Amino acid sequence: MDFQDVEKCCCVVTLREDFSAQELVSFSGILIHSRTGTVICTGLPFFRFIIGDKTICASQRRVLLRHNFRAKLKIAVHFASSSHIEANGCGVDKRCQPGESHGKLEHEAELLMLVNCMEFQKTLRALFCQAEGWRFHGDMDDDLVRDAGYLSWFAVLKAGGPHPVAAAVSWRGSSSLRKGSPVVACGSPFGSLCADLFNGTVSRGVVSNLAGEDNAVILTDARCLPGTEGGGLFAAEDERLHLIGVIVSPFGWKANEWIGLTLVCSIRSILGDLARSGEIRGTVRDLGLRPVEVAVTPKADAGRYPTVCLVDSGRQWGSGILVTSDLILTCRHVVDGESTVRLRVHRADRVLDGVGDVLFSTKAQSPYDVAVVRSRESILDDGGPRMAHAFRIGERVLVSGYGGLGRRCGPSLTGGVLSKAVAVHGRAVMLQTTCAVQAGTSGGAVLRASTGELLGMVSSNAKDQSTEATYPHLNFCVPMSILRDPLLRFKQSGDVTAAFDVLDGAEEKVRRVWRLQDTQSKL
- Per the annotation, the verdict on 81 as an active-site residue is no
Let me know whether 333 and 193 are in one domain: no
Alpha-carbon distance of 338 to 327, in angstroms, equals: 17
Q: Same structural domain for residues 262 and 195?
A: yes
φ, ψ at 122 (rounded to 5°): -60, -45
Domain count, the chain: 2
| pLDDT at residue 18 in the model | 78
Shared domain for 232 and 316, answered yes or no, is: no
Cβ pair 230, 30 in contact under 8 A: yes
Least confident of 79-83, 284-288, 306-310: 284-288
Cα 418 to Cα 488: distance, rounded to the nearest angstrom: 25
Quote the domain boundaries for residue 11: 3-286
Would residue 294 count as lying in a domain? Answer: no
338 is a domain residue:
yes
Tell me whether residue 292 is in a domain.
no
Q: Which of 286, 317, 345 is the last residue of a domain?
A: 286
More confident residue, 408 or 41: 41
* Per-residue pLDDT reduced to its tens digit, 347-360: 877 899 999 999 99
Q: What is the pLDDT of residues 178-198, one digit of tens each?
A: 999 999 999 999 988 888 788
Residue 300 within any structural domain of the chain: no
- Whole-number Å distance between alpha carbons of 316 and 336: 7
Closest alpha carbon to 458 in 369, 357, 327, 356: 369
Going by the DSSP 8-state scheme, the letter that residue 285 receives in this structure is G
Please, which pLDDT band fits residue 113 given cuts at 50, 70 and 90?
Answer: very high
pLDDT per residue as tens digits for the range 304-315 = 688 999 999 999
- Are 258 and 326 in a shared domain? no
CB 338 within 8 A of CB 330: no
Sequence-distant (6+) residues with CB within 8 A of 216 are: 117, 119, 120, 123, 174, 265, 266, 269
Domain membership of residue 12 (yes or no) is: yes
pTM above 0.85, yes or no: yes
Per residue in 462-500, pLDDT (tens digit) is: 877 777 778 899 999 999 999 999 999 999 999 999 999
Residues 159, 12 share a domain: yes
Between 81-85, 120-124, 511-515, the lowest mean confidence (pLDDT) is in 81-85
* pLDDT of 93: 35
Count of residues making up the chain: 523
Residue range 16-61, pLDDT digits in tens:
987 666 678 999 999 988 888 899 999 999 998 999 887 777 777 8
Higher-scoring residue by pLDDT: 266, 104: 266
Strands (E), 376-448: 396-401, 412-424, 427-433, 445-448
166: pLDDT confidence band, cut at 50, 70 and 90? low
pLDDT in tens, 5-14: 888 889 999 9
User: Which residues are paired to 107 by β-bridges?
Assistant: 77
Question: Is 75 among the domain residues?
Answer: yes
328, exposed or middle or buried, with CB in 10 Å at 0-12, 13-18, 19+?
buried
430 and 368 in one domain? yes
Q: Which helix (H) or strand (E) holds 196?
A: helix 195-198
257 and 180 housed in the same domain: yes
The reply to whether 347 and 387 lie within a common domain is yes
Does 128 share its domain with 191?
A: yes
Same domain, 241 and 320: no
* Catalytic member of 319, 369, 473, 481: 369
Work out the pLDDT band at 522, boundaries 50, 70, 90: low
Give the pLDDT confidence score for residue 447 in this predicted structure.
96
| N- to C-terminal Cα separation, the chain | 39
pLDDT, tens digit (0-9, with 9 covering 90-100), for 228-257: 999 999 998 777 889 999 999 998 888 778
State the catalytic residue, choosing from 333, 336, 361, 460.
333
Residue 296 lies in a domain: no
> Of residues 277, 442, 481, 521, which has the active-site annotation?
442
**Residue 84: pLDDT above 60?**
no
What CATH number is given to the structural domain containing 470? 2.40.10.120
Boundary of a domain, candidates 254, 286, 318: 286
502 falls within a domain: yes
- pLDDT-based confidence at residue 100 (cuts at 50, 70, 90): very low
Q: Is the peptide bond before 162 cis (omega within 30 degrees of 0)?
A: yes
Write b or e for each residue in 37-72: b if 16 or more Cβ atoms lie within 10 A of its Cβ, otherwise e.
bbbbbbbbbbbbbbeeebeebbeeeebbeeebbeee
Active-site residue 442, yes or no?
Answer: yes
Strand partners, 79: 11
Distance CA 523, CA 518 (A): 12
Are residues 58 and 183 located together in one domain of the fold? yes
Q: Is 333 a catalytic residue?
A: yes
Q: For residues 280 and 329, state if they share a domain.
A: no
The Cα–Cα gap between 111 and 39 comes to: 10
